[in-house]
Amino acid sequence: MTTTPPPTTSFALTPEQRAWCAQLRTLGTERLAPLVTEGEAGRVNRTLLRALGELGLLARAVPGAPPWRRVAALDLCLLRESLAYSCPEAETALALQGLGAGPVADVGTAEQRARWLPAVAAGEAVAAFALSEPDAGSDAAALALRAEPEARSRNDMGGTGATGGTGGWRLTGTKTWISNAPWADFYTVFARTGEAPGSRGVTAFLVPADRPGLSGRPLDMLAPHALGTLTFDAVPVTRADRLGEPGAGFRVAMRTLNLFRPSVGAFAVGMAQAALDASLAHAGRRPAFGGVLRDLQAVSHQLAEMATRTEAARLLVYAAACAYDSDEAGGNDVALRAAMAKLLATETAQYVVDAAVQIHGAAALQRGHLLEHLYREVRAPRIYEGASEVQRTLIAKELYKEKEKHKEKPEELYKETNKEARHP
């Protein structure tokens, strides 16, 4: 798995990219899915993570060696879509590694990157992205976790030691719904340092799991993934633990989410495609009213609708990823496209999986059935990394922001357009 698929120049994948996706699906089915049962439900599956590292797949989500090149968004989307189709657990494990280590790759120091990124890419260290709080989920700017400056120690004449000095803080508060908690080896933590109100007063920190005062407990969720609550009781962090500049943590978080939001859509598309393919197979063989299910117009039209919506979501995901990868000058509306892709794909996947359950009937509700599994898995992506309602708000905000940038009177725009039409 060392060949990098070439970038796409349109919304149709190249033969090399299609072959790579097929290979990923096969790996998911044959190499990764059997490892799922070796882990305990609701906990980090380190055996699965190591396999993802050995196959070179984690290195697609986490830059594991200098010069720490930025992960390609389209590459990440193809990877997540293909794994979601064949082994959603492997897809989730990979994505959480990328999300947790994303800020380290983005703004980490040379020491932070060298210490953690190779281990994360190898599946030897577990990363976690600790943003959400009990009262700050979708409204990430409402974070309450406090980073309180430590008092200057008598023995500290300007140093930044772990237990005091002008460069240290103590983290106090709670994070919850944190993936990989409480079993991660380090957490990317966003805390309020107070340089300014709202989102401008948040700073990012890299917090190893063995810091004194840090504890956690698991949460029992609908889909049994490693998810938990973290409690920070005056946890010490220093200037060396900071990720980026003071007060710039919210921007660090948003840059990471702008990269991963399209790939959340890709995850959803992969599950939708799996549900669609299962429905096509079932409708083609299930006896019904003297024929098979697909002979019923209601069923065939439902399948056509499922396929059309899935493809539309896939194309929007690819478009958002390509915009991110080519955004050198910041002119590709990355935030807008990422929000649109995440919104449409996750809502579409919910619709497609639900329709697939309806086509299969009661059998799909039986524990262990593919669709029973997908039905539980598909619900969470509409909430995490920005709920659908938040994506709609973000989209509207970005649309009006773009409108403000191009304030032209309609009549002037009309005249200019017609002038160009008359004089090509």
Paired strand residues for 287: 292
Alpha carbon of residue 384 to chain centroid: 8
Q: Among 187, 206, 204, which Cα is nearest to 252's?
A: 204
CA separation for the pair 310, 329 (Å, rounded): 31
Phi, psi of 218 (to 5 degrees): -75, 160
For tokens 């962090």, the residue is 237
Active site residue 385: yes
Count CB-CB contacts under 10 A for residue 222. 10
Q: Position 101: which residue type?
A: A
Phi, psi values for residue 163, rounded to 5°? -115, 15
- Integer angstrom CA distances of residue 253 from 36, 70, 115, 259, 385: 30, 15, 21, 10, 10
Q: CA 306, CA 153: separation in Å to the nearest integer?
A: 64
Between CA 26 and CA 42 the distance in angstroms is 25
> Among residues 385, 389, 404, 411, which one is catalytic?
385
Q: Which of 226, 199, 218 is CA-nearest to residue 43?
A: 226
Q: How many residues does the chain have?
A: 424
Q: Which positions are annotated as active-site residues?
A: 385
